[in-house]
């Protein structure tokens, strides 16, 4: 079992470390541009490719979508309570507690732990989280809400398109499937490299608030995942993927969006760093119970 967990964790850590060292040696890499590339092209293709090639039913995907929505909602509520209890400065600090790092870490870990089925389930979960980043996360961070961003989100459009293809059993041209498969292939290595580079750039200044947020994220994530599994009566790989995704550290995108809006980005950056480093201990423990 220990070797199995190492085989899942170490490849992810290794690629993240390459990204971290790449930036330390001042090599060119733009994580913001990569994030846009992944969000607008790579992830939509990955969602289509993984969802349409799996043998999972529409009902299972709706379970995953509902699970992701509940994880986000409960994460926000628990974060709001934490802010009130510890008298933290702003509700804007809920964003890293809401959003697990399903893209950079959740998808590759689910693929390595549960195979192609895990990849399909994780991609469905991550699609909801990604939509939330560019809607709820952006709205909380900036104070501006845009319905247009929701409707025109490539991730959401890809998700809807994939579900239509699945529901009506539409046979797409082979060339279209080949193109999306090729483009989906760059998502996992690029997001892991981007994670390492982004971590190397985070300036840890607001240690106290960031540590509280990061530590709470590591504790609350698995508990929220277990609660959602219990509420929805999930089982099998669906339940395992939901718990694993909810247990991910705070998402890098919460820091990037906060930095764009100059909105407590130092505190949120510290939370991302603390929870990501802490996840090197927490994730193997969680996998020990899931495998």
Q: How many domains does one find in the chain? A: 1
State residue 165's pLDDT score. 92
CATH of the domain at 272: 1.20.1530.20
**How much of the chain, in percent, has pLDDT values that exceed 70?**
97
**pLDDT, tens digit (0-9, with 9 covering 90-100), for 190-202:** 888 888 887 877 7
State residue 68's pLDDT score. 97
Domain that holds residue 6: 2-290
- Across the range 84-113, mean pLDDT stands at 92
pLDDT at 9 over 90: no
pLDDT at 213 over 90: yes
Give Cα 20 to chain centroid, integer Å.
Answer: 19
- Across the range 222-228, mean pLDDT stands at 97
Residue 248 pLDDT class (50, 70, 90 cuts): very high
**pLDDT, tens digit (0-9, with 9 covering 90-100), for 229-247:** 999 999 999 999 999 999 9
**How much of the chain, in percent, has pLDDT values that exceed 90?**
50
**pLDDT, tens digit (0-9, with 9 covering 90-100), for 44-65:** 999 999 888 888 888 999 999 9
């Amino acid at each position: 079992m220990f070797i199995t967990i190492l085989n899942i964790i170490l490849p992810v850590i290794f690629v993240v470390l390459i990204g971290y060292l790449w930036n330390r040696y001042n090599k060119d890499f733009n994580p913001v541009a990569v994030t846009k590339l992944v969000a607008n092209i790579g992830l939509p293709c990955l969602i289509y490719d993984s969802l349409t090639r799996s043998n999972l039913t529409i009902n299972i995907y709706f379970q995953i979508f509902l699970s992701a929505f509940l994880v986000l909602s409960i994460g926000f509520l628990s974060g709001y309570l934490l802010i009130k209890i510890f008298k933290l400065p702003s509700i804007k600090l809920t964003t890293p507690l809401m959003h697990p790092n399903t893209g950079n870490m959740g998808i590759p870990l689910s693929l390595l732990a549960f195979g192609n089925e895990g990849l399909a389930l994780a991609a469905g979960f991550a699609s909801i989280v990604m939509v939330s980043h560019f809607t709820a996360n952006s709205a909380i961070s900036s104070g501006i809400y845009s319905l247009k961003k929701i409707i025109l989100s490539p991730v959401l459009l890809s998700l809807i398109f994939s579900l239509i293809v699945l529901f009506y059993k539409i046979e797409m041209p082979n060339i279209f499937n080949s193109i999306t498969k090729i483009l989906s292939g760059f998502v996992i290595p690029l997001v892991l490299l981007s994670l390492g580079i982004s971590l190397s750039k985070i300036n840890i200044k607001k240690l106290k608030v960031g540590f509280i947020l990061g530590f709470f994220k590591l504790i609350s994530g698995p508990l929220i995942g277990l609660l959602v599994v219990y509420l929805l009566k999930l089982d099998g790989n669906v339940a395992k993927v939901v718990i694993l995704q909810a247990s991910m550290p705070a998402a890098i995108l919460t820091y990037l969006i906060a930095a764009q809006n100059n909105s407590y980005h130092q505190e949120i950056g510290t939370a991302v760093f603390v929870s990501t480093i802490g996840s090197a201990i927490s994730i193997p423990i969680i996998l020990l119970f899931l495998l």
